[in-house]
Amino acid sequence: QVQLVQSGAEVKKPGASVKVSCKASGYTFTRYYMHWVRQAPGQGLEWMGIINPNSGSTSYAQKFQGRVTMTRDTSTSTVYMELSSLRSEDTAVYYCGRTYSNYDQLDYWGQGTLVTVSS
Amino acid sequence: EIVMTQSPATLSVSLGERATLSCRASQSLSNNYLAWYQQKPGQAPRLLIYYASTRATGTPARFSGSGSGTEFTLAISSLQSEDFAVYYCHQYTTWPYTFGQGTKLEIK
């Protein structure tokens, strides 16, 4: 069965960086795109960007340009999302989610990773 | 960026009754690239409906999606206790993907 398993919760200080992983299983990793979506406490969903695990190409939401980097490791079927220059407003649950094409519904999601930014 | 607006923000409905949730896009969604997700506290969103009206695998038949262009609706007939959650609409016509702010469905 399809599973997206994310790394554990993180606590970071303002100005630091965080790297969250998302390990895929149960399907051919390179055939599906992966997205990152975040959710601040009590708030809605916010799309951060997409990575093509086959080519490694990425596209980021303008809001995160220059601060976010998405990468993948095909040998372990894992995608990574690194967010730098953290501020308190980045405190959120970060989710990975897959789509079959680059314009598609998110059919499977990871369990989420809470990132807390606090001094 | 396409702005998605959901209404109402909170909907109170009794068990066994019907609920109707609305979602409006700021511009027409080509190919009806509109999905609905259900989210329960502490859980990731779960895909319910895609292409505006196609039920995802495992979505009960009491859930139905409709609409086109800029106006979309999620209907839940005969509400069950497990249906009380927050529902989000999502457009995937263009990047950036955008989501509505959510409708919280609560027991009346």
> Dihedral angle at the C-alpha atoms of B24, B60, A4, A62, nearest 10 degrees?
0
- Candidates A59, A96, A53; CA nearest to B95 is A59
| Chain centroid to CA B58 | 16
Question: Could you tell me if B72 lies within 8 Å of chain A, comparing CB atoms?
Answer: no
Q: Which residue among A47, A99, A107 sits closest to B98, beta carbon to beta carbon?
A: A47
Q: Do A109 and B90 make contact, defined as CB atoms within 8 angstroms?
A: no
Q: What is the pLDDT of residue A37?
A: 98
Q: What is the pLDDT of residue A102?
A: 87
pLDDT of B5-60, one tens digit each? 999 999 999 999 999 999 999 999 989 999 999 999 999 999 999 999 999 999 99
- Candidates A61, A62, A60; CA nearest to A70 is A60
pLDDT of A36-63, one tens digit each? 999 999 999 999 999 999 999 999 999 9
CA of B78 vs chain A CAs: smallest distance (Å) = 25
Q: Do B99 and A45 make contact, defined as CB atoms within 8 angstroms?
A: yes
B96, pLDDT greater than 90: yes
In A, minimum Cα distance to B103 occurs at A44
Q: Do A105 and B92 make contact, defined as CB atoms within 8 angstroms?
A: yes
Which pLDDT band holds residue B4 (cuts at 50, 70, 90)?
A: very high
Q: Do B44 and A50 make contact, defined as CB atoms within 8 angstroms?
A: no
Q: Is B15 helix (H, G, I), strand (E, B) or coil?
A: coil
